Amino acid sequence: MSRLEELRVVGLSHRTAPIEIRERFALSGARLEAWIERLLEQPGVSQCVVLSTCNRTECYVAGAPSAAVGRRVARALVEEAGVPGGHEHLFRHDGLAAVQHLFRVTSGLDSLVIGEPQIQGQVSAAYREAERRTLGPSLHRLFQSALAAGGRVRSSTAIARGAASIPSAAVELARKVFGSLDGRQVLVIGTGEMGRLTVSCLRSEGVGRVLVASRSLERAERVGRDLDGIPMTRGSVREALGDVDLLVTATDSEAAFVTPGLLAGAHDEARPTVILDIALPRNVHPDAADLPGIFLYNIDDLQRVVDQTHRAREVEFEGAERIVDHHARKFWAWHRARAATPAIRALRANAQTRLETRLERTRAPGPRDADGEEARRLATRAALNKILHGPTQAIRRLAEGDDAAGALEDLADALDSRPAVPAEDRTADRGAG
């Protein structure tokens, strides 16, 4: 009989490798396809799921319970990446450790930014991709359980709540004022990197028209193309201010050119306006915050939102770990219990055969009483099921133990090889005949 498949993971992440190594190991498109083919060709690998994101490349495999499989996968992965000495950045986990690792990854507990939600989608995509090929019951159940645990962690704890980066803090603040950002108008003054990132983040939240203002119209046009925005010069800002819901300032100007006077003249106080001043020195005079309807935040405020989120997530970390551990162990018990199946099958088949034989032999001579026989058969089967319930449970419990594999194999072999009609029964038959 075949032994239970071993689960293992081989890979690297931001914890074990710097970005210049991680990018060499990153797999996508045709290269990922080719790698999966190659992985499945490795001796001892029967199923695999490959997770490749900007922070990790991990190969989850199920197959022969031999440590050599993990070494072969690691060697092939280093060859694929073409990184000399790449081994030193790889980690390998087998069995329960591999299961716990995947559950932690899916829940965002192993992420660079704890609790970040994207990883759940990335794990789900990797699983769906593998599902198209040959994904056996072990990895299928493993990934479904990991995704369920990830969902549970996010719904039962505050680990994923709040904004964990400056651009997402900007979005969070805007959302706390406007709710949905759908169709909101944005004016970004300045063409710096942070301004662009913030507007990209806002764009992904569904903001409507984006106006891009710069001292130079050419530069505004260039950035406007990237952001799918309308270019304008800084001189036209005053007219535009009346219509915008969000103002992002990110210029290298030495003076605060957005003054309370400028805003008071252009802004409708019944309509809230969120101003995100992410420039240093600040572009917006701090007194503008006193105007009704104006919500002004600078880079320090955004950083405080991020810090607050990190603190809240750290508080929740322990609870999230407990949930992950509980679900991982639950999966592991299921996985181990599968090792009991052959022994249980053999036990039941053996007992069933004996019962059928005995019933046949004790049938009274003469015409058959079909109904009576059927009733007797059903009653004895029910009794047999009751008798076997205890041993079945005992075998399952045995399978959950660490050193049960050998004992279960021996048990299944012994039950399989036992003659269907025991010797004493055969002797009795002869005597009766």
Partner 1 sequence: MLIRLLLTAALVCYALAWVLLLRGFRGRGGGRAPSLSLALGGAALHAVGLAVFWIHNRTPPLLGVGPASASLAFATAAGLLIVGRASERWTAGLLALPPIMILLAGAVWTGLSPTEPATAFRGGWSILHVVSVLMGYASLLLGSIAAAMYLLQFRALKRKEFGNVFQFFPSLDSLDRMGGIGVAVGLAALTVGLITGWSFTLTFGRGLALGDPDVVLGLVSWIGYAVALAVRASPAGRGHRAAAFTVLAFAATTVAFMSLKARDPASEFFL
User: Interface residues with partner 1 (CB under 8 A)?
Assistant: 154-158, 161-162, 173, 175-180, 269-270, 272, 289, 292-293, 295, 297, 301, 304-305, 308, 312, 315-316, 319
Which tokens go with 72?
A: 């072969």
Structure-token match 């660490």, residue found = 402
User: Are the beta carbons of 122 and 49 closer than 8 angstroms?
Assistant: no
Residue number with CB closer to partner 1 (77 or 305): 305
Structure-token match 């197959």, residue found = 63
The DSSP output letter for 284 is: B
Residue number with CB closer to partner 1 (227 or 305): 305
What are the residues whose beta carbons fall under 8 Å from the beta carbon of 20, sequence distance 6 or more? none
Residue number with CB closer to partner 1 (115 or 190): 115
CB of 293 to partner 1, least distance (A): 8
Secondary structure (3-state) at 238: helix
Query: Which residue among the candidates 48, 54, 59, 201 is catalytic per the annotation?
Result: 54
What are the residues whose beta carbons fall under 8 Å from the beta carbon of 213, sequence distance 6 or more? 187, 188, 189, 190, 220, 231, 232, 233, 234, 236, 237, 240
CB of 247 to partner 1, least distance (A): 16
DSSP strands (E only) in 254-365? 273-277, 294-298
Residue number with CB closer to partner 1 (88 or 182): 182
Helix (H) or strand (E) holding 51: strand 45-52
The DSSP output letter for 404 is: -
Cβ-count burial of 42 within 10 angstroms (0-12 exposed, 13-18 middle, 19+ buried)? middle
Active site residue 201: no
Residue number with CB closer to partner 1 (98 or 275): 275
Which tokens go with 48?
A: 């695999």
H helices then E strands: how many in the chain? Answer: 16, 10
Catalytic residues: 54
